[in-house]
Amino acid sequence: MPNNDHLAIETRSLSRVFKKVVAVDNLDLAIERGEIFGLVGPDGAGKTTTIRLLCAIMNPTSGSAKVAGFDTVKQAEDIKRRIGYMAQRFNLYGDLSVIENLNFFADIFAVSGEVRRDRISQLLAFARLTEFKDRRATQLSGGMQKKLALACTLIHEPEILFLDEPTTGVDPVSRREFWDILSDLHLRGVTLFVSTPYMDEAERCSRVGLMFEGDLIVCDEPEKVKDLITGDLIELRPDELRRARDVVAGLDGVLEIQTYGDLLHVFVDSVEKRTPELERLLEAQGIGVTGLRQTRPRMEEAFISLIRKRIAEGRANNPVSSQKE
């Protein structure tokens, strides 16, 4: 492969098969240095496997990948020195205190002396764990544990950081704080590769990739992804939710209906055409409606719609994407 120095992560037809399951299917990725890349997808989509392949802790069954310019199979150790990996399951030592965990990882990465002391105090401040530094890791709250885990991956100032669902199971406030930290890292030029099930987090990335059954369906800036949705969203608040839903489902041009609490989100092929039709239908049925308006589809809708499309098309070979060239 030609040496693209500006690429932090590069893959060519990267694949990994487990017995009969294709976990990652011919993945082509090109992540620039300094990007925050978000990998989104349902459970079993292949996100964790992808990250493991990129961190050089799993071998692909075919294809290749380069991280920080090094091949993941042949030059694994060179990669491991330059990256940080926060696995989905815990990689903290519960019996050890916060400071002991940090010291341990510092030892592993051969960070010592003055440099170590400075970095550790910075990281503690960064993660707001300074006052908890002597507490055992198991006695920290979920959010703090994740921040500690993150801090441990940063002790050696890696160029690239891989995070596998880092905020799962964490309360919203801590999640926000966590992403503030990631944001900060991004501004400092660290490349971030994050997998997440949370759509709002996907919106905070420079680019976002949707994975489904091992395939990368979409890979683009968040806004552009939303633009891909063929269809518009009508939001309304009907008096009788259930009946309204059943009624609207029968209308032509309705791609999808979702309930959001008391609201109905209706995906239609064309707002101009269908809005009046919709209003008429509901009126005819005697269902009162308030707050009818057109809104932008959210990331979630975009993804769900794309996945549905993919399922409907069967396994088409071309991922819908527009690479950054």
Partner 1 sequence: MLRRIRSIAAKEMLHILRDGRTFFMVFIAPAFTLVMLSYLFSWDVERFTLGVFDRDRSSLSRSYIAALTEDGTIVLEEDIASKDRVDELLTTDRVKAVLVVPPGLMERVAKGETGQIQIILDGTTPGTASQLLAQIGGRTTRFAASMSSLPEETLAQLVPIDTRTRVWYNPNLSALHSMVPGLIAVVMCMPAFAIATSLTREKELGTMEGLYATPVGGTDLLIGKLAAYLSCGVVAAVPVVLVATMWFGVPLRGNSALFLLLTADFMLGVLGLSLFLANFLSRQQAAMVVMFLVLFVPSMFLSGLIDPVDRTSFGAQLQANFLPTTHYITISRGIFLKGVGLTALWTPTLALATMGVAYLLITIKLFKKRLG
Does 85 bind partner 1 (CB under 8 A)? Our answer is: yes
Q: Which member of 25, 27, 52, 166 binds partner 1 (CB under 8 A)?
A: 52
Does 157 bind partner 1 (CB under 8 A)? Our answer is: no
Identify which range of 54-62, 184-192, 226-234, 281-289 contacts partner 1 by CB under 8 A. Answer: 54-62
Taking Cα atoms as reference points, which of 200, 268, 199 lies closest to residue 233?
A: 268
| Helix residue spans in 255-294 (DSSP H) | 271-285
Amino acid of residue 275: T
Q: Which member of 21, 108, 125, 249 binds partner 1 (CB under 8 A)?
A: 108
Does 77 bind partner 1 (CB under 8 A)? Our answer is: yes
Helix axes 142-154, 172-187, angle to 10 degrees: 20
Identify which range of 6-14, 107-115, 126-134, 176-184 contacts partner 1 by CB under 8 A. Answer: 107-115
For partner 1, the closer of residues 107 and 246 by Cβ is: 107
Contact flags string 173-212 toward partner 1, x per CB under 8 A: ----------------------------------------
Does 105 bind partner 1 (CB under 8 A)? Our answer is: yes
Which SS3 state, helix, strand or coil, does residue 98 take? helix
In our burial notation (b when 16+ CB lie closer than 10 A, e otherwise), range 102-125 reads bbebbeebebeeeebeebbeebbe
Q: How many CB atoms lie within 10 A of CB 168?
A: 14
φ, ψ (nearest 5 deg) of residue 299: -55, -40
| Minimum distance of partner 1 from residue 52's CB (angstroms) | 6
| Minimum distance of partner 1 from residue 17's CB (angstroms) | 10
For partner 1, the closer of residues 85 and 267 by Cβ is: 85
Contact flags string 240-279 toward partner 1, x per CB under 8 A: ----------------------------------------
Does 95 bind partner 1 (CB under 8 A)? Our answer is: yes
Q: Which tokens belong to 227?
A: 């633009």
Does 28 bind partner 1 (CB under 8 A)? Our answer is: no
CA pseudo-torsion sign 169, 172, 174, 179: positive
Does 71 bind partner 1 (CB under 8 A)? Our answer is: no
Q: Which member of 12, 22, 64, 104 binds partner 1 (CB under 8 A)?
A: 104
* Segment 139-144 long-range contacts (CB within 8 Å, at least 24 positions apart): 140/98, 141/174, 142/169, 142/170, 142/171, 142/174, 143/170, 143/171, 143/173, 143/174, 143/175, 143/177, 143/178, 144/174
For partner 1, the closer of residues 30 and 96 by Cβ is: 96
| Minimum distance of partner 1 from residue 237's CB (angstroms) | 45
Alpha-carbon distance 228 to 285, whole Å? 34
Q: Which member of 7, 9, 39, 87 binds partner 1 (CB under 8 A)?
A: 87
Alpha-carbon distance 247 to 278, whole Å? 10
Alpha-carbon distance 192 to 84, whole Å? 10
Alpha-carbon distance 208 to 40, whole Å? 7
For partner 1, the closer of residues 24 and 210 by Cβ is: 24
- Binding site residues, partner 1, CB under 8 A: 18, 52, 55-59, 76-77, 80-81, 83-93, 95-96, 100, 103-105, 107-110, 136, 162
